[in-house]
Every structure is written in structure tokens, then in C-alpha cells.
Chain A
Amino acid sequence: MLNLNFNLNLKGKKVAYYITFLLLLAALTSLALGGYLLIKAHFAQYLLIKTWQQQTVAGELKNNREVKPWPWADFYPVAKLSFERFNITQIVLNNDSGQALAFGPGINQIKGALIDRQSAGVVVISAHNDTHFSILKELRLNDRVKLTLKSGRTQVFKVDNIAIMDTQTEQLILINDDEQYDHNNDNKSLIKELVLVTCYPFNSVNDETKLRYIVYLS
């Protein structure tokens, strides 16, 4: 081996440089890609905050017009989520498609539709575990989370359960849900439960995990 290398010394060196260079380039690209996802997620929130403010103002004027953060966006902000202990505020989008989640936490579509009609008993919000909802792993029991809806109504929730669920074999059941048909109740517009969902385990290489980390707040 060494003998051979000795003979091909000059050539080998060039090849080694070449390979090293390529590897570093690939490494940087990979870093950049990862970084891009994080940066996109981070800075989109600023735009969303702006849109949120516009919307809150517009909401009063134009009665629930949907303001899109940028013209080609497939989503719009519906709520504001604040993690009190961490002093972090995030704008929640109206759906949890892959597209929307790249920019911010999304309300589960099926339940999301209800929030506009103000009849949701439970709100389910999902986000990526390596961007917005990496915060979830820091949440402890009794931590407070504030949710502000478009209508301006604000509710404070306290963490009361943290669970890990295998989507292969289990699913989210929301018991408080049946209360939403309690039309005679004056509190009908109150959200009884907030559920934050993200993938588990955190900092995983795998992007198709079957496990979900679920934080129940009430």
C-alpha cells in the first residue's frame, strides 16, 4: 500500500486534495441546507408577526379578512402562542401542511376550521421539533402558555400532561371535544384544552419518525 502510494505520490496527492475539497463542499452544502431550514423558520416568524398585526387591525375593519404573509402563501396566521417562562412568541398558521410548518406552527386543519367559527373545544397545534417546537422539550408541568386568537381573545393554559404517542398504534383522542356541542353554554367559545404536538425524539436524524411528543394544556 505504502509502496504504491509512494509511486503515485503526486497524483495521489492531487486526488486527495480533490476529494477533500469535494467533501468539504458537500459538508458546507449540507450545513447550509440545514441552516436554511432553521433560518427560514426563524425569520418567517418576523414576517408573520407583521402580518398578524395587520390582520388584527384589519380584522376590526374588514371583518375577518384573511391577510396572507406573502402573496403566494398558502396559509395565514390564526393565533399567537406565547411561552411565558421562555418569553417566546410564535404566530400560529391556519394549517399544518408541510409547507406551512416550515414557517411556523400550524393548527391542525380539521380542528383549525373550528377555531374560526369559535366553537373549538380543543385546539391542536403542531410544529417541527427542530424549529419552532424544539421549545416543547423544555416545557415542564404547570408551565404557562398563552394563546391569543384573531378575535383578540386570550387564554392562558397550564401544562398538565406530557405524553409520547406512537402514531402507528395510537391516536389522539380529545375528550373535551364533546363539550363543543354544548350550545346553550355561555362558555362555548372557550377553548378547554390546548394540545401541542411535535415529533419525537428531538434532534433526531430521522425525519419520518412515528413517535409524537404531546403536551396537553388546560
Chain B
Amino acid sequence: MKGTICFPQQKPQFHRSFFIIVIWITLITLVHLIILGKVTAQELEIKSIPYQDISSGSLYFKNDKRYFPALTQNSDYQVSVNGLLARVNFSQTFKNSSDDFLEAVYVFPLIDDAAVDSMVMEIGGRRIIGKIKEKQKAQKLYKKAKKQGKKVSLVSEQRPNLFTTKIANIAPGETIKISLSYLQSITLNDETFSLRIPLTITPRFIPSSLGSNREEQENPNIDDLVKTTKINAHGWALNNSRVIDASEITPFQTRGETFNKYDSENHQQTITLAIDLNTILPLTDVISRYHPINKTQFNGKLSITLADNKTLLNQDFVLQWQLTQGKLPKAAFFRQLDNGQTQSDYQYGLLMLMPPKRVYAQTINKEVVYIIDTSGSMGGVAMRQAKQSLITALDFLNPLDSFNIIAFDDNTQTLFRLSKLASIDNIAQAKHWVSSLKAGGGTKMYPAIEQALQPSPRDNTYRQVIFITDGSVGNEYELFALIDKNLANTRLHTIGIGSAPNGYFMSQAAKIGRGTYRYIGNINEVKEQMTQLFSQISKPLMQNIELTWPIAQVEMFPEQVPDLYSGQPLLISARWPRDADKNIKQVINVSGKLASKIWQEQVDITKEGKIKIKEGSTKNIVDNGVAQWWAREKINHLTLLHRRSSAQNKTDLKSQITQLALKHQIVSPYTSFIAIEEVVSRKQNKLLKSRGIKNLMPKGSTQVIPLANTALGVVGYFYFSLLLIIIALFIRLLSKKRFKNSC
């Protein structure tokens, strides 16, 4: 450094020491990162089990050396569609190819409103009819039989749309077939019928099909919230989060990477599927959304089978069809077929009614109150998306609608003192206000809801409250009571945002609020979901629906008829005493209010719809499922009450549900099917070696536990700073070189 003319002496020295420090920091960070990297590598080695390869929901057995798929499994669906109900005979065949006696646990998805009413276990040629038992009792019996070495299988409901089959003592090389029979509803929306069968048992694929079914799933007639709902109150609603193009979003490469090599070799989970469409009316546009199908017309019914008989269970099957233009019946009434064998004290009926569409389809003036949760937990992406969707929602308002926005955390603030018309100015003001909201503070919902439900000064408005939150609250019951008490003519819709909203609260609040509940699982879908919701509720709604039955003592479900969105049918299940049947007046009066007009309809129930009986049904009793459907609806209703009631009533309701489920032979939260072979097949000295893998299910069926985002990317910061330091060093070196050159 001779050229001191160019530079004062001190500065380079300072820089040198500074450099040394920087280099040290860099080195230390590098070493640190290298060490971290090594640990990761070690950790990867300990995984002798290919967990990431395991196809969830499938059955894996474990032996001493490794996990291996000990069976080939085949699912067979025989579906018979009758009107708005479908009877599905679903059989699962398991083969144990190991040398040990095994117990297997198989978790599988079913449609959320499935009423499972029969179970048969077949071993070789022997058929053992499953008996419905109280869940705990069944579990005890299962454990006992398992210990004794008897073949036993147990089917129980984990969640309304998630069931488990447990089979104990499967002998080496043996094949066991479990046949279930269940009813499910066909969703009808905008004249399109659709049947969905969840097949997502091999998960490596997002069943985008769920997305397309989203609106049908919103059918408020179907209350599938059963007791286990702490985890899964939102069973079906979660499916809402799917998008139609989900399969495109899902990187196909991921699948290639983690594809189970055992799967590709010998683990063939395949399905066969056959659907009979028994409608007298001509059908058009019968399409399968995701699978190639073959259609055959035979004897007035349309039979559908999968074109590829080795279809993998990796995507939900969705079949949609329409009736030839204008043929959609306005109403249909189905009665439990009386065949003399079932001498019950009651008669059962199922009423389907299509309210008039687009006749009064002018827009109605409504008042919309948005509640937005701005508590701390909404911070980040959730808040941004909530705001964005709220802003989108404001664009849906008609100029004659009025609106207001309530934002709450610890405090409640409102945009306007009273709701204002959705004029351009007011909307602009609202948008500005919304965009200035910041997340922070606690989650005090009570005052916000109270305020939103305050009676409006304008009396005859069609009032909607849209509640956007992710917040989990502890005072659910208090809030339910509040909604219940103050609801009046308002409708409350809840929208869950974030990774783990309190689904129980949200769906329940929407139910009490007679609105809809949407769960937005993936935060990126908020906008699309909101758009759909608002476009749905911006149309007039059939309200105040009332039914007058010609028969006394009718017990109908849903008890409180929900509002119908345009294109939705009314589906009512009813039961009445047999002796009341004689003096039947044969006409049901239905009335409702659409926009400002009164709608009235008379349904002549003498001309009842015929439901054909599916032959070869595993049930001995010939039935069309109307009674079972009624029971399922009643169980749903009771479970709802159960959740709301006090501890004393709870036990009472629980026993009511159990009694009902036992009587109608359906699986419920408290009843399970159990089949025991009385022969002891495993000697006591032989070990029962097995277990099922108890994790990893396809995402499509239900998101049981939404997991939190658990990475901060702290290392990212370090890498970034490291990179900057290196660049800085580089520049410094360059300029130094130049400096030397110049002097």
C-alpha cells in the first residue's frame, strides 16, 4: 500500500479489521449450515420404513423386517339410483399374503350422508351377517373375539364421512370380503343430478371432483354433523376448499417421486363399479366427470360401468345427468314399500319438491352485514385474503341493497352507524375502510354478533349476515344462544378462514343462523370461494317454507325447513303412525315465500313415486330405504340437539340415538356393525402379529386435523445474509483491485 496519496491511512485499516470480522461471521455461518445439513442427512437414514411412500387408507402389514402391503384390495361398488336416493352395495376384499395371522385396520371414506345399514363378512363361501350393536359393546365383543382367535370384523363410524373396518385373525393366505350396504342422496342443483362416490383411498392425487360438487354439498337439508364433529363438524364443508383445477395445481412430479414401489409391483387397489339409473323419465347428458365409462341401455334402465376395470382408487367418481328438458318433476313422493314382512307401527315417506325457478327471479333488495374478524390470529395471509374477499363481495351488491361492515377484535368497530345504501360512494368508502384494517388483539365475538343481529330499522329487508373469521372461541354455547335468540328473519353465513378455524362453531352457527357454512382450507382459494358464495346468496331465496300434512302426528326432518337457494330441491323425510294412515287426506300443502310473493303448492301423495328394489341386496327385508333415510335424518337431528343440550339431556339423547340406530340397523356415532365367526381359527399359541397403519389419509375425504404452518424459514434469512456478505466481499475485492491498479 504505497499509494497513500489516494487514500488516508486509517480507513483501510478499519476496513481490514471489519473484513476479518465479516469473514469470520461468514465462516461460522457456513460451518453451522454444513453441520445442520449433516444432521438432516442422518435423520433421513433412520427412516427404514417408507412412510412417505405409503398409500394412505390402504392396509399395510408389518413383519419383522419391513412394512409391506400384505394384501391386494379390491373395492366393488354396485349402485342403484332411484330418484334422489341411491343404494350402494360396497364390498371390500382383502387378501392376506403373509405367513402370519393378521389384524388389519382399514380407514375408508364414504359419502358424508351415507346411512350404512348392512354389513356382511364373507370368508371363503361362508357368510356372516353383521349385527348392529352399541359401539362400546361392539368394541368389547371385537376385543374378546380377537383374543379368542375368532375371525371378527367391526365397522364403525369415525366421522360422518369416514369409517373404519377392523378385521382380526385373518389367516395366512386367506381372503376376506366385507360387504356394506348404504344409502346416499343424489344431489340436485340447477337441474343437474350428481352422484359422488369418494374413492380417494390412494391419495397421491387431489380429488378435484369434490370441488365440482361443492354447491350441491351445501344442501342444508342434510345435516351430517354427528357427534364426533369436534374434529369434523365440517366434514363436507371442508371439501369446499377443493378447486376444480386442483389436480393441475398438484404437482404430478410429487406423485412420481413418492410413488410407492410396492404399489406399482403388487399392491393393486382397484375398483369395479356398476351403476343402474332407474328413472322412468328420459335422461340426457349422462357424464362421468373423471373416469371413462361404458353405458348400456337395458329394460328402461341405464347401466353404467367403468370402461377400465382396473381403475385405481385415486380420484372420486362423479356421475352427473340431467332429465330431458322440462321433464324435471315438480314434486315426488316416495313411501316405504309395504311388503307385509315389516310390520312396523309407522309409515315412512320422502317428499321431494322443486320450487319454481326463475319465475320471480328479479333481484331482491337486501341488507348485508359483514362481520370481519381482525383479531391477532388473522394476521398475515389470512387477513389479506379476508380483506380481499370482502372487497370482492362489496362488488356483488346492487345499488339498492344496503350494507354495513363490523370489524372486531377486542373492540367492535362499525363502518357506518346504520346500514347505508350500496352506492358507488359508499362502496368506495367501505373499500378504503376495509383496506385500512389491521389484525391484532383478542377475539371478542359476542358484541359483534349481537350488533350484527340487531333488528334493522327497515323492516321488510332480506337480511344477511356474513361472518368471516378464523377465530376459535371458547364460549360457543353462549354465542349459539345469542344467535338463536336474536336471529329473527336474518340469515347468518359463516366463512372459516385460516388453517384451523373452529369448525364446530362455524358450522353450528350457520345452522342455527339458517345460512351456509364454508370452510376455506387453502387460503389461496378465499377469493374464489367468496365469489361463489356471494353469487349464490345474491339471488332470491325461498323462505318461510311450511308444510301442512294431511296426517296427524307427522314427525318430519329437517324439522325446521331451511331456506332454499335457487335450483335446490326440498327434501323432507317423514314418519307417521300406521293407523293414522287410513284417514289420509292425500294432499300435502307446501307454502313458501320467494322475494315478496307467496308460493303455494299441493302435492298429491296418492300418486306416489315408485322406487324399484335393488335385487341381491344384502338385506333380507325388501325396502327402498325411505325408512332408513328417515332414521338417518332423525339421528342427525338428535345429534344436533345432543351437542346443544345439557349433560343430563345428553345421556338421554344418546340413548335415543342408540335406540333409533339399533331399530333401523344403521351405523351411527354410537352403533357399529360387528360380525363374528364362532369358529376359533387362530390357536392361542400363535401370535396375532399385525396392525394397520394408522395415519395418512387422502386429503379429499375430510381434513381431519388441519395442521399449522410450522416453518419460519429462519435459515432462509441466514442464507440471504450470507449471500449478501459474499457479494459485498466480492465487490470490495474488485474495487480494491481497481484501487491498486489506479495508484
- Of B44-52, B70-78, B333-341, B603-611, the one contacting chain A is B44-52
Chain A residues near B711 (CB-CB < 8 A):
128-130, 198-199, 204, 206-209
How many interface residues does A have (CB within 8 Å)?
A: 86
Q: Judging by beta carbons under 8 Å apart, are B156 and A178 in contact?
A: yes
Q: Judging by beta carbons under 8 Å apart, are A204 and B715 in contact?
A: yes
Interface string of A11-52 (1 = CB under 8 A from B): 011001101100110111111011001100000000000000
Interface string of B318-332 (1 = CB under 8 A from A): 000000000000000
Q: Judging by beta carbons under 8 Å apart, are B696 and A204 in contact?
A: no
Q: Judging by beta carbons under 8 Å apart, are B377 and A31 in contact?
A: no
Q: Which of A9, A19, A108, A137 contacts B707 (CB 8 A)?
A: A108
B706, CB-defined interface residue at 8 Å: yes
A113, CB-defined interface residue at 8 Å: yes
Q: Judging by beta carbons under 8 Å apart, are A202 and B694 in contact?
A: no
Max chain B CB contacts within 10 Å: which of A17, A167, A170, A206?
A170
Q: Judging by beta carbons under 8 Å apart, are B704 and A34 in contact?
A: no
Max chain B CB contacts within 10 Å: which of A6, A19, A205?
A205
B634, CB-defined interface residue at 8 Å: no
Q: Judging by beta carbons under 8 Å apart, are B707 and A126 in contact?
A: yes
Closest residue on chain A to residue B705 by CB atoms: A172
> In the docked arrangement, what's the CA distance between A160 and B700, Å?
27
Which B residues, 169 to 212, have Cβ-Cβ distances below 8 Å to chain A?
203-206
Q: Judging by beta carbons under 8 Å apart, are B695 and A128 in contact?
A: no
Q: Judging by beta carbons under 8 Å apart, are B735 and A174 in contact?
A: no
Q: Which of B139, B156, B379, B696 contacts A173 (CB 8 A)?
A: B696
- Of B112-120, B350-358, B508-516, B716-724, the one contacting chain A is B716-724
Chain B residues near A57 (CB-CB < 8 A):
none
Chain B residues near A19 (CB-CB < 8 A):
728, 731
B22, CB-defined interface residue at 8 Å: yes
Max chain A CB contacts within 10 Å: which of B703, B707, B719, B739?
B707
Given A24-B22, A170-B699, A205-B719, A124–B710 Cβ distance below 8 Å?
A: no
Query: Nearest Cβ in chain A — how far from B230, in angstroms?
Result: 6
Q: Which of B717, B731, B742 contacts A9 (CB 8 A)?
A: B742
> In the docked arrangement, what's the CA distance between A181 and B203, Å?
28
Given A9-B738, A96-B708, A175–B713 Cβ distance below 8 Å?
A: no
Chain A residues near B710 (CB-CB < 8 A):
101, 126-129, 133, 197-199, 212
B685, CB-defined interface residue at 8 Å: no
Query: Nearest Cβ in chain B — how far from A198, in angstroms?
Result: 5
Chain B residues near A164 (CB-CB < 8 A):
47, 51-52
A149, CB-defined interface residue at 8 Å: no
A214, CB-defined interface residue at 8 Å: yes
Q: Judging by beta carbons under 8 Å apart, are A13 and B36 in contact?
A: no
Given A31-B721, A169-B699, A108–B708 Cβ distance below 8 Å?
A: yes
A146, CB-defined interface residue at 8 Å: no
Q: Judging by beta carbons under 8 Å apart, are B704 and A172 in contact?
A: yes
Closest residue on chain B to residue A25 by CB atoms: B724
Q: Which of A12, A99, A137 contacts B43 (CB 8 A)?
A: A137
B584, CB-defined interface residue at 8 Å: no
Chain A residues near B741 (CB-CB < 8 A):
2, 6
A63, CB-defined interface residue at 8 Å: no
Query: Nearest Cβ in chain A — how far from B499, in angstroms?
Result: 8
> In the docked arrangement, what's the CA distance between A164 and B54, Å?
10
Chain A residues near B254 (CB-CB < 8 A):
166, 168-169
Which B residues, 11 to 61, have Cβ-Cβ distances below 8 Å to chain A?
22, 33, 36-37, 39-40, 43, 46-47, 49, 51-52, 54, 56
Which A residues, 138 to 184, have Cβ-Cβ distances below 8 Å to chain B?
138, 140-141, 161-178, 181-182, 184
A201, CB-defined interface residue at 8 Å: yes
Q: Judging by beta carbons under 8 Å apart, are A110 and B705 in contact?
A: yes
Chain B residues near A89 (CB-CB < 8 A):
none
Given A170-B56, A173-B696, A176-B694, A13–B704 Cβ distance below 8 Å?
A: no
Chain B residues near A129 (CB-CB < 8 A):
710-712
Closest residue on chain A to residue B702 by CB atoms: A171
Given A126-B710, A207-B716, A169–B698 Cβ distance below 8 Å?
A: yes
Closest residue on chain A to residue B204 by CB atoms: A169
Main SS at interface, chain A? mixed
Given A168-B250, A171-B696, A12–B735 Cβ distance below 8 Å?
A: yes
A53, CB-defined interface residue at 8 Å: no
> In the docked arrangement, what's the CA distance between A205 and B204, Å?
25
Q: Judging by beta carbons under 8 Å apart, are A173 and B742 in contact?
A: no
Q: Judging by beta carbons under 8 Å apart, are B712 and A207 in contact?
A: yes
Closest residue on chain B to residue A113 by CB atoms: B230
Closest residue on chain A to residue B521 by CB atoms: A167
> In the docked arrangement, what's the CA distance between A142 and B500, Å?
30
Chain A residues near B107 (CB-CB < 8 A):
173, 175
A216, CB-defined interface residue at 8 Å: yes
Chain B residues near A133 (CB-CB < 8 A):
710
A203, CB-defined interface residue at 8 Å: yes
Query: Nearest Cβ in chain A — how far from B198, in angstroms?
Result: 13
Known contacts A133-B710, A163-B52, A168-B206; 4 further A-B pairs (Cβ under 8 A): A24-B728, A110-B504, A198-B710, A205-B713
- B residues touching A (Cβ–Cβ < 8 Å)? 22, 33, 36-37, 39-40, 43, 46-47, 49, 51-52, 54, 56, 105, 107, 135-136, 139, 156, 158, 162, 164, 203-206, 227-228, 230-231, 250, 254-255, 258, 375-377, 379-380, 441-443, 470, 472, 474, 498, 500, 502-504, 669-670, 692, 694-699, 702-722, 724-725, 727-728, 731-732, 734-735, 738-739, 741-742
- A residues touching B (Cβ–Cβ < 8 Å)? 2, 5-6, 9, 12-13, 16-17, 19-20, 23-24, 26-31, 33-34, 37-38, 72, 74, 95-99, 101-102, 106, 108-111, 113-114, 124, 126-131, 133, 137-138, 140-141, 161-178, 181-182, 184, 197-199, 201-209, 212, 214, 216
**Smallest CB-CB A-B distances: 3 pairs:** A34-B717, A207-B713, A16-B735
16 A-B contacts, Cβ less than 8 Å apart?
A19-B731, A23-B725, A27-B720, A33-B717, A72-B441, A124-B705, A128-B711, A131-B714, A168-B699, A173-B697, A174-B704, A181-B669, A202-B39, A208-B709, A209-B711, A212-B707
